[in-house]
Amino acid sequence: MMSRFSQNEYFDENRGSSISRNEKSGHIPVLLDEVIEYLDPKPGQKFIDATIGGGGHALAILEHITPGGKLLGIEWDGELLKRLETQIQHLNKDDTVLINDSYVNLERIAEDNNFKNVQGVIFDLGMSSWHLEESGGGFSFAKDEPLDMRFSRRMDADGGPTAAEIINRYREEELTQILKEKGDERFAKRIAEAIVKARKEKPITTTFQLVEIIKNSTPFWYRRGRIHFATRTFQALRMAVNNELENIRSGIGQAESVLAAGGRLAVISFHSLEDRIIKNFFREESKKENLKILTKKPIRAELAEITANPRARSAKLRVAEKI
């Protein structure tokens, strides 16, 4: 699926220009000012938003690269992309191409759409609020929904298991490993044991079923903690379903290959495992003299942004320039 739009208007946020958002979707792009500062987009340049989502970063970049610039936006979830298309359908020019695909195919997508030697690529690895609040995909432990968790629920039969399939089919040891490695869940073994026991009675198919199992297999004090007791399990399952950690390394590697000399790669992560992959990749490529690291330490959101947008609290931005 492909569509085009141009950016000739942008959104205001009630706390001023330091953070902007899409009025219709409520999407608030994190670290927006910092992304624009480091990517330094200019008129006539080409950029790729590998995770366009609600369009916040992309639309801000378009403001800086028009006239004459072009932006390629990639979004794995077809429903979310259609939502974005609907919101910007009144902007009808040829300065942006939207593609329904995964950034693991970034090189091919860039080749097919003549986006070679681009000046910048942005990845925002955070999950869209739309997925939690409206998608019905089972991402949120606060809603009773089918346990799916695929970012693209129209994937073909070989696209990978749903969260329900993992929960009901994987061995206890495999479940424990997923919860430990992708969720840093301290009670991974106990939760895995409880899942295996519960599924013998009936299949686990909904989010609330899973939440109840997690609740009954963790201590009372854990259930009263600052972070909801189901957070790490849901995160781990989502990462496993979508191969997120494996995809990141592939995606940023391909992004480096499509950059022009002097082009910049910006990656926003929200999880320590994601950040470690990005940090190590930048270090490896820096040693090979392929990249110059521009952020010695990750850029974090300031208090004002965190207050306006709490999801920015865990965001980390790393940027490197192609040599």
pLDDT digits (tens, 9 = 90+) for 68-79: 999 999 998 888
Looking at the structure of the chain, the number of domains it has is 2
**In a shared domain, residues 125 and 7:** yes
Residue 52: is it exposed, middle or buried by C-beta count within 10 angstroms (0-12/13-18/19+)? buried
Domain-located, residue 233:
yes
**In a shared domain, residues 115 and 263:** yes
**In a shared domain, residues 32 and 91:** yes
Local confidence band at 91 (pLDDT 50, 70, 90 cut-offs):
low
**In a shared domain, residues 211 and 256:** no
Q: Note down the domain range covering 179.
A: 140-242
Phi, psi dihedral angles at 212 (to 5 degrees): -65, -40
**In a shared domain, residues 21 and 112:** yes
**In a shared domain, residues 124 and 249:** yes
CATH of the domain at 181: 1.10.150.170
**In a shared domain, residues 252 and 233:** no
pLDDT digits (tens, 9 = 90+) for 130-166: 667 777 789 999 999 999 999 876 444 445 799 999 9
**In a shared domain, residues 281 and 165:** no
pTM: 0.83
**In a shared domain, residues 29 and 144:** no
**In a shared domain, residues 250 and 231:** no
Give the integer Cα–Cα distance in Å for 142 and 154.
Answer: 24
Give the closest residue to 245 by CA, choosing from 270, 213, 264, 215: 270
Phi, psi dihedral angles at 199 (to 5 degrees): -70, -15
Domain-located, residue 135:
no
Give the integer Cα–Cα distance in Å for 274 and 298.
Answer: 12
CATH of the domain at 45: 3.40.50.150
Do residues 56 and 22 make contact, with C-beta atoms less than 8 angstroms apart? yes
**What pLDDT is attached to residue 9?**
28
**In a shared domain, residues 210 and 81:** no
